[in-house]
Homo-oligomer: A and B are copies of this chain.
């Protein structure tokens, strides 16, 4: 595409680095900004830089946070006895939107995937075990996407906790097999938390 302007070209290229935005969409966004006040672009840019510079990871649950401990971990009304284990922060947002869960979370940062070279050491499994060993946790709800990798991860964690008196449950399989947790509708996701089932390893 011929922009006849280095400034436009730079801005279009900047937008094109974002996922799902091609050159034509990027140009549309740039032209939109051009039609707005300069101040709007500045506010927009500032919100992004401010977010990127100041965003933190919660030292307890690995959720994103404005502080060292996130809003959920520091909320005294949340039940500390139940931890919902999720793959990513997007899953926390999806579950929070259902308003069906009042416990705390733990973000693994992915699932065990030997093909992609992701082992237990690459995930936040050790800090989860430490949280449980510190005491007070009665139940772990595994809200992991129902895939082979997800099942492997649940199996691995359950095995590590075999000697500890913590109940492990998985969210009800209302979530379609092979589906992505974050795209599940609120009703299905909410119900699958309420109707969670005790986790059993094979052979038990």
Which residues of A are in contact with B by a Cβ distance under 8 Å? 1-8, 10-11, 13-14, 17-21, 25, 27-34, 38, 40-55, 63-66, 70-72, 89-90, 92-93, 96-97
Tell me whether A49 and B55 are in contact in the complex, defined as CB-CB below 8 angstroms, given that A3-B93, A64-B5, A71-B4 are known contacts: no
Q: In the bound complex, do residue A63 and residue B7 qualify as a contact, i.e. CB atoms below 8 Å apart? A: no
20 residue pairs bridging A and B, Cβ less than 8 Å apart: A1-B97, A4-B96, A6-B66, A7-B55, A10-B50, A11-B50, A13-B47, A14-B47, A17-B44, A18-B32, A19-B32, A33-B52, A34-B51, A34-B52, A34-B55, A34-B64, A41-B51, A42-B52, A44-B45, A44-B48
Q: In the bound complex, do residue B70 and residue A11 qualify as a contact, i.e. CB atoms below 8 Å apart? A: no
Q: In the bound complex, do residue A47 and residue B97 qualify as a contact, i.e. CB atoms below 8 Å apart? A: no
Contact residues in B for A92 (Cβ distance below 8 Å): 4
Q: In the bound complex, do residue A64 and residue B8 qualify as a contact, i.e. CB atoms below 8 Å apart? A: yes
Q: In the bound complex, do residue B48 and residue A33 qualify as a contact, i.e. CB atoms below 8 Å apart? A: yes
Contact residues in B for A18 (Cβ distance below 8 Å): 29, 32-33
The 8 residue pairs across chains A and B that have the minimum distance between CB atoms: A45-B45, A2-B96, A11-B51, A14-B47, A41-B52, A7-B51, A10-B47, A4-B71
From B5, B38, B52, B66, contact of A5 by CB (8 A): B66
